[in-house]
């Protein structure tokens, strides 16, 4: 089973490879990061680590069993008053195996035990069926708020980590 790891400096080469290999796949359902992201990757990675050190964000990578290849990213951002926004992306070759659902559920434990979070929010384009499925399978509910993501209509979701029972694996 892949392992969820907190983002570290040594993840940079594998993370860049993950982003490059899956760029077109991701762009079909989430905003493209743009060429500058890849050109300035080293400084961007360092900025994420600096931001993570402040506690306003927690960045994670899902690493294959062999310990090298990154299969996904799971980020908790804009942390304030016990709430964070969840964003995630999984490599094309890792989809369809329940990895995103399992990893999001694992994040719930980190959120409550390590990060003292009580609520997670997420947004997904209406056309992003995979992400919306992961969110609903893990107990997120739509808030009724609408959002536009790369020109596509989307919805906000929320998950109360304290009062809602954890869903079975």
Continuous H helices in the chain: 12-21, 23-27, 35-39, 41-54, 99-113, 129-137
User: Does the structure show a pLDDT above 90 at 15?
Assistant: yes
What is residue 169's predicted lDDT score, i.e. its pLDDT? Answer: 44
What is residue 149's predicted lDDT score, i.e. its pLDDT? Answer: 84
Distances (CA, A) of 54 to 49, 50, 107, 122, 148: 9, 7, 19, 21, 29
| Separation of alpha carbons 19 and 98, rounded Å | 20
Residue 38, both tokens? 């890849």
The string of pLDDT tens digits covering residues 124-156 is 999 999 999 999 999 999 999 999 887 889 999
What is residue 137's predicted lDDT score, i.e. its pLDDT? Answer: 97
How far from chain centre, in Å, is Cα 74? 3
User: Does the structure show a pLDDT above 80 at 37?
Assistant: yes
Mean pLDDT of all residues in 20-39: 90
What is residue 116's predicted lDDT score, i.e. its pLDDT? Answer: 94
Domains in the chain, ordered, with CATH?
3-160 (3.40.630.30)
The string of pLDDT tens digits covering residues 62-113 is 999 987 899 999 999 999 999 999 999 999 999 999 999 999 999 999 999 9
């Amino acid at each position: 089973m892949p392992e969820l790891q907190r983002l570290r400096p040594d993840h940079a080469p594998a993370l860049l490879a993950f982003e490059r290999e899956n760029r077109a796949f991701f762009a079909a359902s989430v905003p493209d990061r743009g060429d500058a992201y890849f050109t300035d990757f080293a400084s961007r990675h360092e900025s994420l680590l600096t931001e993570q050190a402040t506690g306003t964000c927690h960045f994670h990578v899902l690493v294959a069993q062999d310990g090298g290849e990154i299969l996904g990213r799971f980020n908790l951002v804009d942390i304030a008053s016990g709430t964070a926004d969840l964003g995630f992306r999984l490599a094309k070759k890792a989809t369809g195996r329940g990895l995103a659902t399992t990893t999001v559920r694992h994040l719930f434990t980190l959120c409550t035990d390590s990060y003292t979070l009580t609520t997670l929010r997420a947004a997904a384009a209406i056309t992003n069926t995979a992400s919306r499925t992961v969110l609903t399978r893990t107990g997120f509910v739509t808030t009724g708020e609408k959002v536009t993501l790369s020109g596509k209509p989307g919805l906000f979701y929320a998950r109360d980590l304290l009062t809602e029972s954890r869903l079975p694996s």
